[in-house]
Amino acid sequence: MNKVRVRFAPSPTGYLHIGGVRTAIFNYLFARRYGGTFVLRIEDTDRERSNKDAVDQIIDSMRWLDLDFDEGPIFQSERSDLYQAQINKLLDEGKAYKCTCTAEELDAKRKKAEAEKRNYTYDGTCRDLDPSRDLGTTLFTIRFRNPRVAPDSFKDLILGRIPIDKNKLDDWILVRSDGSPTYNFCVVVDDADMGISHVIRGNDHVDNTPKQIQLYQALDLPVPEFAHMPLTHGPDGSKLSKRREQEYREQGISVSVQEYRNMGYLPHALVNYLTRLGWSHGDQEIFSRKELTELFSLEHVGRSSGIMNPDKLKWLNAQYLKESDDADLADLLVPFLAELGIETTADQRLQKIVHPLKERAKTLPEMAQMSKYFFVAPESYEAKGIKKWWKATAAESVRRVRDQLDDLNLDDETALEEAFRKLADELTDGKLGKVAQPIRLALTGVTFSPSLFTIIAILGREESQRRLDRALATIGKE
């Protein structure tokens, strides 16, 4: 394979779309697999909608996902001289021409075609007019002079051979009447100038490809290889829509990449998930970044749309949480605790809290919720727990444990467990649960938690006894 150069080219008109970042991931992995170059190009020719904040969040999102680009960001808005030079070349060679047809005239022709149930293409009204005519102050666009010839198909590295409908190829607009170049023109000029070898993008661009191939040929430029990825769809199989964002968030997904960070997903888990959403390597689900860069290939990209599955994403994120370093997780958890009104730092205590919880949580906000009782004493107790565990003998178990804590080494969880078992032998015929569960409920307010002995060690002697005293005042009154 010749030197690989690929690009990701988002428009800075809003947040980075989850489908867009999947395109970035595929380009990134392809470049890394073949020792190539990954270019970030910002397509900001839409002067009204493009903004700096959108550029910043695109770059921030890519850095969060560890998708390091080798060149860029390169801004189309800074390349007007290059575009003008290529427009002049096309005009000088008669491969483009000025068109003075107004928007109203074109709209009338379009509506006529629709009424006659035929495909609308520009009819070439200005195609053969004298190019040297004086247009004065008349506004004009610049159109590509369609050579009327095109191949029957083009090769796609994912979708295979794609037929070209020549009836849809007309004299399309290269430059708008306000002087701004169009997408199909800029993308060809940029990709050629940047030496892009493979154009890997969504299959919503398939219809643009025949036009672009014609323009490459008209400019005597090498045509890159094309690979059109299936799009990313929502859980119900429909196209992801910004209008349904609230519905998606309730399910645990979003249209915006940045929201996944806010929802507590780990970046490498999201990259793993989006890569597997359309690409496969046998039945393997979990990949290190090294494995992805060594194994990824376009040959194993499917042709069907990738359907977002919130449950699978959460499951995958849970696997990454389990394997994460406690110190790293503690650092990530701090802002999610702050949202719950809990101010803390990523100290050793928080790392001890994180260690058992990472085996149970699927996201960071879920972990934060699970950890609340380490910071705030329960104000109420689980009703079903009270009914099942706070019976007549519970008060004695709680009282005895409360008193024994004075003499126990709380950092020795083995010794703690041994003391509980001795108490269970004495009070409950050796049934540890009848001692442990009332204590668990007293300390946490719930009956499902990590090891009770871990909880006592983290809470410490004074806080544990304080909570047990409160429980003693409550048992029998609930």
Residue 266 to residue 286: CA distance in whole angstroms: 13
Catalytic residue positions? Answer: 242
**The pLDDT of residue 45:** 80
Residue by residue, pLDDT tens for the chain (478 residues) are: 679 999 999 999 888 999 999 999 999 999 999 999 999 999 998 777 788 889 999 999 999 999 999 999 999 999 999 999 999 999 999 999 999 999 999 999 999 999 999 989 999 999 999 999 999 999 999 999 999 888 899 999 999 999 999 888 999 999 999 999 999 999 999 999 999 999 999 999 999 999 999 999 999 999 999 999 999 999 999 999 989 999 999 999 999 999 999 999 999 999 999 999 999 999 999 999 999 999 999 999 999 999 999 999 999 999 999 999 999 999 999 999 999 999 999 999 999 999 999 999 999 999 999 999 999 999 999 999 989 988 877 888 899 999 999 988 998 888 888 988 998 898 888 888 888 999 999 999 999 899 999 999 999 999 999 999 999 988 866 5
**The pLDDT of residue 292:** 97
For the entire predicted model, the pTM comes to 0.92
Residues in the chain: 478
**The pLDDT of residue 225:** 98
**The pLDDT of residue 424:** 87
For 262-309, write each residue's pLDDT tens digit: 999 999 999 999 999 999 999 999 999 999 999 999 999 999 999 999
Residue 236 to residue 239: CA distance in whole angstroms: 9
